[in-house]
Amino acid sequence: MRSPLLSLPGAVPAEGADEGVAAHYGDLFREQRRLAAGQGFVDLSHRGVVTVTGDDRLSWLHLLVTQHVSELPPQQATEALVLSPHGHVEHALYLVDDGTTTWAHVEPGTQQALIGYLESMKFFYRVEVADATADYAVVHLPAGSIAEAAGAAAVRETPYGRDLFVPRGELAKLAEGWGEPAGVWAYEALRIEAHRPRLGFETDHRTIPHEVDWLKTAVHLQKGCYRGQETVARVHNLGRPPRRLVFLHLDGTEETLPAHGAEVRLATDGPDGRPVGFVTSAVRHFELGPVALALVKRNTPLDAVLLAGTVPASQEVVVPQ
């Protein structure tokens, strides 16, 4: 779904998972600085939007997701996951309830699979699930922004900023009141700086929540049963997830960034050594320089210098051994 904001001056379309919105508007570092200072906005209108209505919506969702949402207060933002029966992450939901409707935005193109699962679990519950992507678009206002949320159907307020669900047909008009736009590359740089995982980037088909630090924000360890809970409880009690997320400071002399999926090795083993992990996301940050997130084997030495592809990198712990 192509955003109307791609017609703004300087807009360069993103590719891959973020196709449909702008990667940047001509000055990546300036856009990052503005977001870090609480200015401007990010067009995330390519993301999927799912709504759940009905009297049982929160108690029903509580049975299906990793987060405690049965008593979620109106306007309080949260995150939740849908796991496979073996505890692997299948969906990541960014939620808020407005008192009558639960709103969620999800990775682009994943809403239909999520809705298919939710529909299969309705049974006798009084709930209605809808794909609202065609009608509503997501816009991000950074933390500290004084821009008005007027016109938004729902707002998720988090430590990183506000996610607005706005009528898609009014996106271009409303954008006039949010200041200068920043592309998803700038948004991604701040996400990576904050060590925040993203489905499909920091995850693969066998990722469990512990590996990417989702226990802090998207998993409630004392709630009742849900699909995949046995794996969550077992690994939490043993304290031994097979892999762990790390933040990498990359050698700034390299001209290119390692691609998603680039193998990570111990520098002492050289480029032909056995891989210990892979790069999940890499960006050029306006203050930190080239940085990345990577998923490595749990027992990878904490002080080891790594090779991200062919780029030397020092690691910063995100998930402890």
Q: Report the run of H or E that residue 229 belongs to, with start and end.
A: helix 229-238
The answer to whether residues 167 and 280 belong to one domain is no
Q: Would the pLDDT of 212 be above 90?
A: yes
Asked whether residue 94 falls in the same domain as residue 164, the answer is: no
Average pLDDT on 219-229 reads 93
Same domain, 149 and 264: no
Residue 21 near residue 14 (C-beta atoms within 8 A): yes
Structural domain of residue 112, as residue ranges? Answer: 48-131
- How many whole angstroms separate alpha carbon 118 and alpha carbon 48? 15
pTM: 0.96
The CA radius of gyration of the chain, in Å to the nearest whole number, is 20
Q: pLDDT (tens digit, 9 = 90+) per residue, 106-145? A: 999 999 999 999 999 999 999 999 999 999 999 999 999 9
Which CATH number covers residue 92?
3.30.70.1400
61 three-state secondary structure: helix
Kindly state whether residue 236 falls inside one of the protein's structural domains. Answer: no
Q: How far is Cα 218 from Cα 159, in angstroms, rounded to an integer? A: 14
For residue 264, is it within any domain?
yes
Residue type, 49: V
In this structure, the answer to whether residues 66 and 84 fall within a common structural domain is: yes
Tell me, yes or no, whether 171 and 120 share the same domain. Answer: no
Residues 126 and 146 in one domain: no
**Does residue 248 sit in the same domain as residue 107?**
no
Same domain, 166 and 147: yes
Terminus-to-terminus CA distance in the chain, angstroms?
A: 41
Shared-domain flag, residues 189 and 142: yes
Residue 117 lies in a domain: yes
pLDDT, one tens digit per residue, over 243-293 is 999 999 999 887 889 999 999 999 999 889 999 999 999 999 999 999 999
Identify the bridge partners of residue 241 per DSSP, sorted by sequence position. Answer: none
pLDDT digit string, tens, across residues 11-57: 999 999 999 999 999 999 999 999 999 999 999 999 999 999 999 99
CA distances from 145 to 3, 42, 205 (A): 22, 12, 36
Question: Can you give the CATH number for the domain in which 301 is found?
Answer: 2.40.30.110
* Cβ neighbours of residue 286 closer than 8 Å, sequence gap 6 or more: 28, 29, 32, 33, 36, 189
CB-based contacts of 303, cutoff 8 Å, min separation 6: none
Residues 10 and 143 in one domain: yes
Q: Detail the DSSP E strand segments found in the chain.
A: 12-13, 22-24, 41-43, 48-53, 78-83, 89-97, 101-106, 128-131, 136-142, 154-158, 161-167, 181-182, 243-250, 263-266, 277-285, 289-297, 306-308, 311-317
pLDDT digits (tens, 9 = 90+) for 158-196: 999 999 999 999 999 999 999 999 999 999 999 999 999
Ramachandran angles phi, psi of 241, nearest 5°: -65, 145
Neighbours of 298 (CB within 10 A): 17
The per-residue pLDDT for range 235-257, each reduced to its tens digit, is 999 888 999 999 999 998 878 89
Amino acid found at 231? T
Cβ atoms 110, 198 nearer than 8 A: no
Among the three residues 77, 106, 131, which one is the final residue of a domain in this structure? Answer: 131
What tokens were used for 182?
């920043």
Number of domains in the chain: 3
- pLDDT value of residue 239: 80
**Cα atoms found within 13 Å of the Cα of residue 162, Cβ hemisphere only:** 21
Q: Supply the pLDDT for residue 224.
A: 82
Quote the CA–CA distance of 82 and 91 in Å, as a whole number.
Answer: 5
- The domain boundary residue, chosen from 131, 155, 180: 131
pLDDT the model gives residue 208? 98
Domain boundary residue, one of 114, 131, 148:
131
Asked whether residue 205 is assigned to any structural domain, the reply reads no
Q: What confidence category does residue 77 fall into, taking pLDDT thresholds of 50, 70 and 90?
A: very high
- When pLDDT is averaged across residues 79-95 and rounded to a whole number, the result is 98
In a domain, 203, yes or no: no
Q: Would you say 219 and 53 are in contact if contact means Cβ atoms under 8 Å apart?
A: no
Q: Identify the CA nearest to 278 among candidates 289, 268, 293.
A: 293
Q: Which residue has the tokens 């607005």?
A: 164
Is 232 within the bounds of a domain?
no
Q: Are both 115 and 163 inside the same structural domain?
A: no
Q: Is 104 among the domain residues?
A: yes
Percent of the chain's residues with pLDDT above 90: 95
Kindly state whether residue 263 falls inside one of the protein's structural domains. yes
Q: How far apart are CA 212 and CA 216, in angstroms?
A: 10
172 and 290 part of one domain: no
